[in-house]
Amino acid sequence: IIFTILPIHEYAHALAARKMGDNTALMHGRLTLNPLAHVDIFGAIFLMLFGFGWAKPVPVNPRNFKNYKKGVAITAAAGPLSNLICATIGIFILNIIYNIPITSEKGYMVAFYIIMALQFFCSINLSLAVFNLIPIPPLDGSKILFAFLPYKAIAFMTKYETIFSLALIFLIFTGGLSTVLGFATNGILNFLSDMALSPVRFFAELF
Whether residue 105 lies in the annotated active site: no
Q: Which helix (H) or strand (E) holds 178?
A: helix 178-206
Residues 19, 81 contacting (CB under 8 angstroms): no
Cβ neighbours for 146, distance < 8 A, ≥ 6 positions apart: 69, 72, 73, 154, 157
CB contact set of 82 (below 8 Å; sequence gap of 6+): 8, 9, 11, 12
**What radius of gyration, in Å, describes the C-alpha atoms of the chain?**
19
Q: Do residues 187 and 87 lie in contact, with contact meaning Cβ atoms separated by under 8 Å?
A: no
Determine which one of 10, 105, 161, 205 is catalytic: 10
Give catalytic residues, as residue numbers.
Answer: 10
